[in-house]
Structure 1
């Protein structure tokens, strides 16, 4: 799968490379990257993930709990890294798709926002994370290859950046590390600008039938990822505990209150779509029950 826009497969240069030194100077940071923490820091507690409600987690050994929590933490931080990486590519693409001088300048500034965010979050890794092509990142990578500007504005700026505002606020408010909390909070103003710009641009958009169908299909696929609950967290539990039976999985999803949590997320997404998605698409999504979470036994 081609992912040239997302940048997921771009290699990194060595720390001693001249370009790296110029980048460090432009970012006003030391030549040698300072490690934020030693070992595997736990930025978010078990309660943030709802693991305190899960019997299998509570009955796990101290080592198993530590493994599960470390994986869950790393998954969250790594997702932020790759989303910001994709954001740099997206904004660069929007510079090229700009239809006025002002729009080109605006998206150039937005690209700089995303580049700053990426470099800031990179400081919380001992080494660059390996790309793990999960369903969400795979979806995002494919999405960014489209040249359908209405689709890109809708999915990235209206839906994903709107969602990101709520997600980053939540991550920041529950984070146990002051520096990471401040970093995430510093993202919010720029994310809000990016989101508001997408909403504004789509207010007067003339959609063609192909764009409407593309938007519907993309939203349906994205919403299903939310409907099926916290799959990655259950996988983290399995990595720490070993094989989980279908009964174990059902119990975990039930104890995580999957339906309630997913419904809250789906409600938020629907509220974002009201302001940036054509009503006929919303109606189709509702008819297909895309805003209703899966019960625990189907997750």
Structure 2
């Protein structure tokens, strides 16, 4: 991560000491806003069924300790992804305050930044420790993308796609969460996500600022994001291999087949296409369709 990409995403921001005056002021401000930052400790928030691991032979034949380790890694990945996305959301909304073109837009983005700060503050206590950014491929790409001053690209990538996607993702996480408190926290994100998404769709649809550069930027960003969905649950494969040891290409294909990767990726890609159709220019949709970006990869394609 370059230094500049930290400016908006905040992925490499330092944390002040817990006893510092800044931290005490933050704690006080959160209390005055009735933002709960306590949690109920729990080792696992989502079980094997949520990840589809109950269908995977290698997981089912592993020892209970190995199964627990794999689930702990998978749970940690999910929580940290939420943390980093909300962290970037705070910076993104603050940037959009500056880029706002009307009084109402400026006020909305100011309120949205507070939403993201609230989400970040409420999810953080569920992490055992404040995470250190690992350089995750998707998150690194997002950090670089939101440094752009191409407002249309920003709105399409973050508000139309990611926040539109996030509504279903958070709803699923909340529904199947083993911890009622965390489930309520995630369910509480949904109204804000819907507002953020709705404004993005409205502004993109009404925009007259499209130029060839913006069209190219949006096309490239969507190609990359859709590719991440096409390749399936790569992090889950990494976690299984991390605990059980080396997996051959055939092993990985077998696991992805048992996870029904192609089927689940197809549903996700269909959802993403529905979010884009009628919002971004038809020329972008047509180009994405032509290159097969809405088609899932087979298990064997996923591991290449």
* TM-score normalised by length of structure 1: 0.96
> Aligned to 1:279, which of 264, 277, 282?
282
CA distance in 2, matches of 1:239, 1:14: 33
Contact 2:205 2:280 in 1 (8 A): no
With 173-182 and 270-279 compared, the bigger mean Cα shift is at 270-279
Q: Which runs of structure 2 are paired with 1:133-212 in the superposition (5 Å)? A: 133-206=135-208, 207-212=210-215
Inter-partner Cα distance in structure 1 for 2:298 and 2:216: 28
Alignment correspondent of 1:123: 125
TM-score, normalised to structure 2, is 0.95
**CA distance in structure 1 between the aligned counterparts of 2:39 and 2:197, rounded to whole angstroms:** 32
Secondary structure of 2:126's aligned partner: coil
Residue among 213, 236, 249 paired with 1:246: 249
Indicate conservation of the 8 Å contact 2:39/2:181, yes or no.
no
| Shift in Å, 1:35 | 5.5
1:36 aligns with 2:2: no
What residue ranges of structure 2 are gaps of 5+ in the alignment? none
Any conservation in 2 of the 1:259–1:293 contact (CA below 8 Å)?
yes
1:81 is the counterpart of 2:67: no
SS at match of 2:206: coil
Change (3 A) 1:35 1:106: closer
8 Å CA contact 1:92, 1:111 repeated in 2: yes
Give the C-alpha shift of residue 76 in structure 1: 0.4
Which residue does 1:101 correspond to in 2?
103
Change (3 A) 1:163 1:19: same
Q: For 1:60, what is the secondary structure of its paired residue? A: coil
1:290 aligns with 2:293: yes
Deviations 1:220-250 (A, max 9, x none): 0110000000000111111111111111111
RMSD of aligned alpha carbons: 1.3
- The whole-number CA distance in structure 1 between the counterparts of 2:195 and 2:24 is 30
Partner Cα separation in structure 2 for residue 146 and residue 256 of structure 1 = 36
Instruction: Count how many residue pairs are aligned between Structure 1 and Structure 2.
Output: 295
Task: Write out per-residue CA displacement over residues 61-118 of structure 1, whole angstroms, 9 at most, x where no aligned residue.
Answer: 1111010000001100100000000000000000111112221111010000000000
- Can you give the 5+ residue segments of structure 1 that lack an aligned partner in the other structure? none
Deviation at 1:275, TM superposition (A): 3.5
CA distance in 2, matches of 1:277, 1:100: 21
Runs of 4+ in 1 over 4 A off after TM superposition: none
Aligned to 1:47: 49
- Provide the C-alpha distance between the structure 2 equivalents of 1:69 and 1:79, rounded to a whole number of angstroms: 15
Contact 2:226 2:293 survives alignment (8 Å): yes
Paired with 2:193 and 2:56, the residues of 1 have a C-alpha distance of 33
Task: Find the aligned partners of 1:46 and 1:272 in 2 and give their Cα distance.
Answer: 29
Local SS of the residue matching 1:123: helix
1:34 positional shift:
4.6
Q: Is the 8 A contact 1:199 1:275 kept in 2?
A: no
